[in-house]
Structure 1
Amino acid sequence: MEQVQTGGLRTGSGFLTSTLHVIQEIIGCRVRRDPPNSTERYTRWINQLTPEQLLTQVFTSNGPTVIMPTWFCSRAWFSHVGPFNEGGQGVPEDLLFFYEHLRKGGGVIRVDQSLLLYRHHPQAATHCVLETTIWTHRVRFLEEQALPRWAAFTIWNAGKQGRRLYRSLTAGSQRKVVAFCDVDENKIRKGFYCHEDSQERPKPRIPILHFRAARPPFVICVKLDLTGGAFEDNLRSLHLQEGQDFLHFS
């Protein structure tokens, strides 16, 4: 397991006295990494999410929006949500508990103090969980919690990750995909993505559009903090509302 060293909140702090009545929240905090330069993008993400993004960004590959070693919640709420899946090595028990917590209407709060030293090392149990296992749970959760709200949507990324998401969706969700969008002129010039593995005849051909020509809502399969701000600038230029007009999935 990851090794952690915790700090503490002072007795009588404003945060504790204002939230002791909350019984349906998972409460966590900001963290510091050891070594300091390990998982830099992930650490920035976990520490810089806004209060709203603690709920809107629960679909990403980063997992829970507050990390499990910082969690605390009421015993009654834990018993209502839990228990943890004790299936052993390879089971993403924190992710599964977090999803069940959200399914039952739980909220997420982060204390904006760094109260935990989170050590990164090659033997961490998290490395035993297969990416394909996590992917399957994430797609299921997306289809269950987000996609029913939308009659149609666009997948932002006509490349590998966007196509993988499309192929992983159920047939009903696939029929809601009206387009892919991208900035890559080569993909846009091709004009469409053909789902060759489909049993439908004719095989589905999904248009590929420039992101400015596409219609929200978007399921975004572009990783954050990887393009020097170019992707984030493009997204901001559309003046959309996160959680309503788009969701991050990658």
Structure 2
Amino acid sequence: MSGGACEQRCGDSNPPKRLRTDTRPEGTEGDRDAVHVSIVMPVYNASCWLDACLQGILQQDFTGSMELSVFDDASTDDSKDVVEGWRERLETRGISVLISGHSSAQPRGVGYAKNKAIAQSCGKYLCFQDADDIMLPQRVRLQYVASLIHLNTLIGCRVERLPEGSTERYTRWINTISQDQLITQVYTSHGPTVVMPTWFCSRDWFFKVGPFDEGGKGVPEDLLFFYQSLRQGGGLYRVDQCLLVYRYHEKATTHSVKEETIWKLRVDFLQERVLSQWQSFTIWNAGKQGRKLYRCLSPTNQKKVRAFCDVDENKIQKGFYTYEESKEIPKPKIPVLHYTAASAPFVICVKLDMTGGVLEENLNSLQLKEGTDYYHFN
């Protein structure tokens, strides 16, 4: 979708008025009228994107009560003034506006800013909005309805990527994995299967799981929260409509998170949730990624690896992989087999959607069930 198309769709100057209600959502306190949905928006140097973002909020067709809660994390541009400039338009449409922030020399990070925005809000449900993205008119309404059905759940949606065509594989994955794969593919390098810019959940569930980690730059606060939600028994659900224009740019905070940090979190969660339940397993990929996974496993789980498997005849002909870093004598030697000679369950360390369909065809040929016979760790 082009930027012009987005502006045209979101540019109606006469959005529907919100229907305010006197109903105070259960479990909410404070001297302000409680609202159904708080739109939670951390802001840091987002001035150039805020007009489009706030126009999208103005255009929501949800008829319950809403508020916008903004926390400015020491911006050095005029972000706070831009938001303030929208106050009258938003409040005229029945959307309360809360703006706060700090002016320290350094930003405290997105986790801190989200926590502050949540703390000053009072909605029974939280709709997370990044300042550089654009919510489409049905977003709050459809995610609110889904949250009433799917309790204790992180609700997401499909997205359109801007600029069009950027991160093509990632965007396709966000939009096309099945509801079951929202659970089974949580160990992949893509991160949360319900992506953070689309999150919607109840305030009660947020406080059962959270708050966000406030470690600052380089901390994957969204992945930490996501895994903790799953540990608490939380569900995942995606509204299968595009409700958000998800902007890609080099200044996004995602780029500050180190790959090794994400890798370790994924390995630990895989061991906790999957490998602890298996007596033995095969690592699908005898190359760099498969060997790296093996080396990162606990000694207990290393001993559960019965083999590596691959399609590369050169690796298979070598017959085994020797774990040279081991202090054991003799050093462990793990067989390397052709995938057709290997036994399930598997941890798949080959990237999805990168082999022209060969990996997927090979998996299908074995008639395996994802989440039982194999998990992706790619």
Using structure 1 for the length normalisation, give the TM-score: 0.96
Deviation at 1:18, TM superposition (A): 6.0
Partner of 1:192: 320
SS in 2 for 1:200: coil
Residue 5 (structure 1) aligned with residue 147 (structure 2): no
Could you say which residue in structure 2 is the equivalent of 1:172? 300
Paired residue type of 1:6: M
Deviations 1:211-232 (A, max 9, x none): 0000000000000001111111
Percent identity of paired positions between Structure 1 and Structure 2 = 61
Q: CA RMSD in A?
A: 1.5
Deviates more, 1:88-97 or 1:3-12: 3-12
Q: What 5-or-longer segments of structure 2 have no aligned partner?
A: 1-43, 45-129
After TM superposition, where is structure 1 displaced by more than 3 Å over at least 4 residues in a row? 10-13, 15-19
Q: Distance in 1 between matches of 2:343 and 2:163?
A: 43
Q: Secondary structure at the match of 1:102?
A: helix
Q: Match for residue 244 of structure 1?
A: 372
For residue 38 of structure 1, the aligned residue among 166, 187, 208 is: 166
Paired residues of 2:147 and 2:153 also in contact (CA < 8 A): no
Per-residue CA shift, 1:122-179, capped at 9, x if unaligned? 1111111000111111111111111111100000000000000000001001000000
- In structure 1, C-alpha distance between the alignment counterparts of 2:277 and 2:175, rounded to whole Å: 29
Q: CA deviation at 1:23?
A: 2.5
Give the counterpart of 1:20 among 136, 148, 153.
Answer: 148
Query: Could you tell me which of 163, 181, 187 is aligned with 2:309?
Result: 181
Task: Return the alpha-carbon distance in structure 1 between the equivalents of residues 340 and 147 of structure 2.
Answer: 43
Q: How many residues align?
A: 249
How many angstroms apart in 1 are the aligned matches of 2:150 and 2:369? 27
Structure scoring higher RCO (CA < 8 A, sep ≥ 6) equals 1
- Letter of the structure 1 residue corresponding to residue 136 of structure 2: G
SS at match of 1:222: coil
Q: Is the 8 A contact 2:150 2:235 kept in 1?
A: no
1:204 aligns with 2:332: yes
1:75 and 2:203 aligned: yes
Tell me the residue number matched to 1:151: 279
**What's the CA shift for 1:22?**
3.1
Residue type of the alignment partner of 2:323? H
- In 2 relative to 1, CA 25–10 (structure 1 residues): closer, same or farther, beyond 3 Å? closer
> Which residue identity lines up with residue 82 of structure 1 in the other structure?
G
TM-score normalised per structure 2: 0.64
Greater mean deviation of Cα atoms: 17-26 or 75-84: 17-26
Distance 1:247 1:11 in 2: 33
Query: Which residue is 2:213 aligned to?
Result: 85
Hey, what does 1:104 align to over in structure 2? 232
CA distance in 2, matches of 1:129, 1:150: 31
